[in-house]
């Protein structure tokens, strides 16, 4: 089994998992699932990312200077941006459902 160091895990979350969450939300027809991603999945994932940053900083104190995603501020910005995008997707689908379109 391959174990990824904290920096690689953070890169994978940023480059693969977050885009996948957003892509899934755009295809989702149930707005409750999108709301669950906003209220549960993202906060839990964000907390895990902060733990990874802490592990990274403990192992390599200057990592945040060399690897962009290995900083608490970058994690905060990433999740703020992702949350805003998900909320927009959710709002658009809610609005469409209210107008008699698909959704909810």
Inform me whether the pLDDT recorded for 3 exceeds 50: yes
CA distance 6 to 38: 24
Domain enclosing residue 83, as ranges: 44-97
Q: What is the pLDDT of residue 29?
A: 81
Cβ burial, residue 67 (10 Å; 0-12/13-18/19+) = middle
Does residue 89 sit in helix, strand or coil? helix
Inform me whether the pLDDT recorded for 2 exceeds 50: yes
Q: What is the pLDDT of residue 65?
A: 73
Number of domains in the chain: 1
Residue 10 maps to a domain? no
Residue 89 maps to a domain? yes
pLDDT digits (tens, 9 = 90+) for 55-102: 988 888 777 777 778 889 999 999 999 999 999 999 999 988 877 655
Inform me whether the pLDDT recorded for 103 exceeds 70: no
pLDDT digits (tens, 9 = 90+) for 14-69: 999 999 999 999 998 888 999 999 999 999 999 999 999 999 888 887 777 777 78
- Token pair in block for residue 57: 């900083």
Q: What is the pLDDT of residue 102?
A: 53
Residue 51 maps to a domain? yes
CA distance 104 to 93: 8
Inform me whether the pLDDT recorded for 104 exceeds 50: no
- Token pair in block for residue 14: 């940023």
CA distance 43 to 79: 8
Residue 70 maps to a domain? yes
CA distance 89 to 20: 14
pTM equals: 0.85
């Amino acid at each position: 089994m391959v174990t990824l160091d904290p920096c690689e895990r953070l890169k994978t979350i940023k480059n693969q998992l977050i885009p996948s969450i957003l892509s899934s939300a755009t295809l989702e027809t149930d707005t409750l699932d999108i709301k669950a991603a906003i209220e549960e999945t993202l906060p839990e994932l964000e907390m895990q990312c902060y733990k990874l940053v802490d592990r990274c900083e403990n192992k390599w104190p200057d990592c945040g200077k060399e690897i962009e995603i290995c900083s608490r501020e970058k994690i905060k910005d990433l999740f703020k941006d992702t949350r805003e995008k998900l909320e927009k997707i959710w709002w658009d689908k809610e609005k469409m459902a209210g107008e008699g379109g698909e959704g909810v």
